[in-house]
Structure 1
């Protein structure tokens, strides 16, 4: 009676599978949103700054018609101290889009000559 040997897979198929797995994980990580992703906002008086659920967009609005300039200040994964400006108190919001990779990590709303809200983590 002859014993049968287990058949071994060729090494190149195993290596190719490992490379494909690593590439798929890297691609998924690049475009994945954080598990805790959510839309959130912060206020300074009636002035407001808010981000969307993907943390790629930020808006700012001037809710007080007091002639004080309003802007949102924010940090992203790759940049610090970015700003987007409100368009006055006419009801138009200032907006900035950061793209898929460079997400907003914290932000606040500021009113010139008055001050800023505390930073809010995204």
Structure 2
């Protein structure tokens, strides 16, 4: 009886740990500047940026990686519906969206 109770408790704890994850568990996240946006994948290694306003102001995302480097990704064709895309071998630590002549939105901290 005790062995069965211990087994059940251990199995239950393992299931909870697998489902709950940790605070740094991967999940998609989105940043905005007005209607313009950028979002990262659930593994935090890819980003897309999209210009959602047809105002002739270019849109780009600033990406800070966990290895200390920074880069940017821009929407290459304005508000036509396509996106700019970036993929990295290390995780994204934070990112934010900027619009030429309008400034930048709030930084989204990932880790």
Residue from 51, 56, 81 that aligns with 1:91? 81
4+ long deviations beyond 4 Å? none
Matches within 5 A, 1:1-122: 35-87=24-76, 88-99=78-89, 102-122=90-110
Q: How many residues align?
A: 88
CA-based RMSD of the aligned residues comes to 1.6
Q: How far did residue 75 of structure 1 move?
A: 0.3
Write out per-residue CA displacement over residues 58-117 of structure 1, whole angstroms, 9 at most, x where no aligned residue: 000000000001000010012433100112111000000002xx1101000000111001
Structure holding more strand per residue: 2
Unmatched runs of 5 consecutive residues or more in structure 1:
1-33
Give me the TM-score of the superposition, normalised by structure 2.
0.74
Task: Please say which structure displays the higher CA radius of gyration.
Answer: 1
Unmatched runs of 5 consecutive residues or more in structure 2:
1-22
